[in-house]
Amino acid sequence: MKKVLFVIYQAPGGSVWPNEGFRTAFGMYADEVEPEVLLIDQAAITLAKETEPQKLGLLSIKMVQKYIGKYDTKVLVEKESLDKFHVTNMDEAYRAEVLSRAELQARLPQYDHVVFM
């Protein structure tokens, strides 16, 4: 099975990229591709409990979390991005794995493709 990492780096506010990144990742299962989602830079804000995408015209965050649970999709987030944007209270429903930039760089070779969104 191929592995694909979707790297989302744009802010959730006024941007569809976090939402579209998750939707694209969930669609990969039909093609027997194992997706993972990495949130870096401003996209790390997506994990904050007080973020409500439905107020921004995006899919309900509960819908995204439902599919994360259903497919057991791995969600990664860069520690430096969380620190930069002061995200300290992450929503546990994402089950996000916090990794340093160095850890992420060491992990990149395991993916068949890396897609930046």
Summarize pLDDT for 38-85 with one digit per residue, the tens. Answer: 999 888 888 877 666 555 555 666 778 888 889 899 999 999 999 998
Mean pLDDT, to the nearest integer, of 8-36? 82
**Which pLDDT does position 57 carry in this prediction?**
55
Domain range for 76: 2-116
Distances (CA, A) of 3 to 19, 42, 94: 20, 24, 19
Strand partners, 97: 76
Please count the structural domains in the chain: 1
Average pLDDT of the residues of the chain: 85
Does the predicted model carry a pTM greater than 0.85?
no
Angle at 11 between CA 93 and CA 71, to 5 degrees: 35
Q: What is the CATH number of the domain that holds 15?
A: 3.40.1260.10
